[in-house]
Structure 1
Amino acid sequence: MRHICRLVSVLAAMLLSTGVAFPADPNWPATLVIGTASPGGTYFTYGEGLAKILTRELGIPVSARATEGPVQNIALLEKGEIQLAFATLGVALQAWNGTGAGSQGKPFREMRALFPMYDTPFQLVVMHGSIIQSVADLAGKRIGSGPQGGTTATYMPEMLKALKIEAPLIYGDWADLAQQLRTGALDALAVAAGVPFPSFLDLETNGKLRFLNVTAQQIAVLRLTHPELQLSTVPPGIYASLPTPYQTVGLFNFAVGRMDLPDNLVYAILDAVFSHQDELIGTHPAATETVPANFTRNMFLPFHNGADRWYRNHAAGGTEQGD
């Protein structure tokens, strides 16, 4: 018996010395998976940073899964294949109402809002030497639009239709599409993502980009056809190729989770995210907008009970923990 006790003590000391944590509640799932998007995009980078924070703070393995983006994320969440996901509110609204791609008219109601992430501006770019000078010049040009399950691929066909522009859209991973733009296989990239967009930064290592101006009239048309679109601005200096503000439209991103996640787990997730925002910003600067006050950007999606308790408690300045 003495030997068993000594062995247990040694194992415990070894685990503590290596920084291995244990889940705070035995009712929590053994692992968590976050649905992100394709490599080369903001979701993927942000998700990898978040997974590291949550793994450490929750004491359970959390992994970031590469996906095609919000449409697939919500579908995977609905089926229970992942527990956490990233989604733009426009795509989430379509899925909630059963009008989005892949929903086949069935409302997806398993998701609950957790915490705000950042704004997603629509950005249209070409290489600096391109003959394309305006959004109207995109007619007939090859436009990379990301994975088919992403926000860009969901919105861009309807946005081009609203602007009366006909152009072929090419889908794929952002890193691959960026390479095709660099080699001339594509004429432009249309991207809805948090800034700075990693693939744009990669492109700028070998040359400058040109951001195609979205006119005030075009913005008005887009917001009329898609009221969920908001005014959005990419600040100057975010990219070396952008010396002035870039005015466009955008959607806000939220982390969502399955409604059956334990309330105290969700509470702990929000605690970890907001307590380590500086670390998340180090992963990607878009996380500067990952602050509690931005929970108001969600106007329709129900918050998870654990998230609701966190916001109510911290708005009141309390210290109550999740149940």
Structure 2
Amino acid sequence: MRITMSQVLTGTLTGALLVAGSAQADRSDWPDNFTVGTASQGGTYFVYGSGWANLIADELDVSGGGEVTGGPNQNLALVHTGELALGLTTMGPAAEALAGESPLAPGVPMDNVCALFPMYETPFSITTLEDSGIESISDIPDGARIGFGPAASTSDTYFPAMLEELGVDFERRNGGWTDLGGQLQDGLIDVIAFAAGIPIPAVSQLEVQTDVNIVEFTEEEQAQVLEAFPVSPFEIPASTYETLEEDARAVSMWNFTIAGCDLPEDFVYEITKLSLENNDRMRDIHRSAATSVPENIEYNTVLPFHPGAVRWYEENGYEIPEERKLN
């Protein structure tokens, strides 16, 4: 039987209308719009979150966009209360929020926050000048002046506690990374403890101007920090800096997308499906999305996954531990 082009087009259109009609019927409880909590403009969170929001809005035909916020802690609070549907956070603030230890709402367990999918890692790394003689964490002298980045940042929140756990005695300093790099070079501080994406521009600039040491964790120090904090093992590739001759052992904190646990399951399922089945488009938003893949769900050791996300993972052969499912 000969099929005409007209019949093909008619059939295609009919099929598309049926799919659209079915999708529309499934959207009866979907929100009319949504907002993704990001962080300050110019940072990775803002670029990633705003681009992700636009992808969702365009592909799922729901009005939405990114919103400038104070970052992980505020995103957790706003998603918990329902003021934001979606957001971005790191595992450290998530653990504190779930335990009712958020600095924004002490004593209030934020249990209406669910994980969707992994974003990327934020490594913790230490840099000193070569002539300081500091080649290991144990070499850091008592009373060393250590720059931990901007006040209340992820670095400033967790790196001091990690070094205290490892027995380091220090004076705490804060500032922007470029400013701290200049202070290190001028001898005003002794160490910079970074939690930031690599390569860190301040370190790259420093090693062009002077000789530096990039201090790695020993296996024992790494294990001790892994036991005490919501971080993961990490190696800074030797290719990251001219100074490194081989990979340097470190730790990192994973970033995850989050959603209100009470959002409709079908809505979150479609968001998860869109995000994880189109990694090329996610990488177009920000290159850090190269690690926004389902294989990295194991690094959520804190939050329950949203039931909609769990459905996508299990349909695609990924097992979610019972303790990471919503009770």
Per the alignment, do residues 48 and 30 of structure 1 end up closer, same or farther by CA in structure 2, a change over 3 Å counting? Answer: closer
Q: CA deviation at 1:130?
A: 6.1
Residue in 2 that maps onto 1:79: 81
Per the alignment, do residues 146 and 278 of structure 1 end up closer, same or farther by CA in structure 2, a change over 3 Å counting? Answer: farther
The aligned amino acid for 2:97 is: A
Q: CA deviation at 1:297?
A: 2.6
Q: CA deviation at 1:128?
A: 6.4
1:179 paired with 2:182, answer no
RMSD over equivalenced CA pairs, Å: 3.3
- Which one of the candidate residues 280, 295, 301 is aligned to 2:297? 295
Q: Partner of 1:237: helix, strand, or coil?
A: helix
1:151 paired with 2:165, answer no
The aligned amino acid for 1:28 is: P
Residue in 1 that maps onto 2:37: 34
Residue in 2 that maps onto 1:6: none
Per the alignment, do residues 37 and 214 of structure 1 end up closer, same or farther by CA in structure 2, a change over 3 Å counting? Answer: farther
- Which one of the candidate residues 201, 215, 218 is aligned to 1:215? 218
Q: CA deviation at 1:112?
A: 0.4
The aligned amino acid for 1:151 is: T
The aligned amino acid for 2:279 is: Q
Residue in 1 that maps onto 2:259: 257
1:62 paired with 2:65, answer yes
Matches within 5 A, 1:1-323: 25=27, 27-36=30-39, 39-40=42-43, 42-59=44-61, 60-67=63-70, 69-126=71-128, 132-135=134-137, 136-137=139-140, 139-171=142-174, 176-182=176-182, 184=186, 187-197=190-200, 210-224=213-227, 226=228, 228-315=230-317
Per the alignment, do residues 92 and 282 of structure 1 end up closer, same or farther by CA in structure 2, a change over 3 Å counting? Answer: same
Deviations 1:10-34 (CA, angstroms, capped at 9, x unpaired)? xxxxxxxxxxxxx975732424122
Question: For 1:114 and 1:178, how far apart are their aligned partners in 2?
Answer: 34
Per the alignment, do residues 303 and 168 of structure 1 end up closer, same or farther by CA in structure 2, a change over 3 Å counting? Answer: same
Question: For 2:309 and 2:66, how far apart are their aligned partners in 1?
Answer: 21
Q: Partner of 1:161: helix, strand, or coil?
A: helix
Q: Identify which range, 252-261 or 176-185, moves more after superposition.
A: 176-185
Deviations 1:193-227 (CA, angstroms, capped at 9, x unpaired)? 44445665676787776422222332243234x05
Question: For 1:273 and 1:196, how far apart are their aligned partners in 2?
Answer: 26
Deviations 1:33-68 (CA, angstroms, capped at 9, x unpaired)? 22346745x43443344344334333423115242x
Per the alignment, do residues 128 and 285 of structure 1 end up closer, same or farther by CA in structure 2, a change over 3 Å counting? Answer: farther
Asked if structure 2 preserves the Cα contact closer than 8 Å seen for 1:178 and 1:189, the reply is no
Residue in 2 that maps onto 1:4: none
| TM-score (normalizing by structure 2) | 0.73
Number of paired residues?
Answer: 288
Q: Identify which range, 131-140 or 76-85, moves more after superposition.
A: 131-140
Unmatched 5+ stretches in structure 1: 1-22, 317-323
Q: Partner of 1:116: helix, strand, or coil?
A: strand
Residue in 2 that maps onto 1:7: none
The share of aligned pairs that are identical, in percent, is 32
Q: CA deviation at 1:164?
A: 2.1
Q: Partner of 1:61: helix, strand, or coil?
A: strand
Question: For 2:275 and 2:195, how far apart are their aligned partners in 1?
Answer: 23
Q: Partner of 1:214: helix, strand, or coil?
A: coil
Question: For 2:274 and 2:211, how far apart are their aligned partners in 1?
Answer: 38
Asked if structure 2 preserves the Cα contact closer than 8 Å seen for 1:114 and 1:256, the reply is yes
Residue in 2 that maps onto 1:15: none
Question: For 1:178 and 1:229, how far apart are their aligned partners in 2?
Answer: 25
Per the alignment, do residues 178 and 80 of structure 1 end up closer, same or farther by CA in structure 2, a change over 3 Å counting? Answer: farther
The aligned amino acid for 1:276 is: N
Question: For 2:164 and 2:53, how far apart are their aligned partners in 1?
Answer: 38
| TM-score (normalizing by structure 1) | 0.74
Q: Identify which range, 296-305 or 104-113, moves more after superposition.
A: 296-305
Deviations 1:131-176 (CA, angstroms, capped at 9, x unpaired)? 654433264344333444433222223212112222233345xxx3
Asked if structure 2 preserves the Cα contact closer than 8 Å seen for 1:39 and 1:66, the reply is no
Question: For 2:64 and 2:298, how far apart are their aligned partners in 1?
Answer: 30
Residue in 1 that maps onto 2:7: none
Question: For 1:202 and 1:110, how far apart are their aligned partners in 2?
Answer: 43
Per the alignment, do residues 46 and 70 of structure 1 end up closer, same or farther by CA in structure 2, a change over 3 Å counting? Answer: same
Unmatched 5+ stretches in structure 2: 1-22, 319-327
Asked if structure 1 preserves the Cα contact closer than 8 Å seen for 2:147 and 2:192, the reply is yes
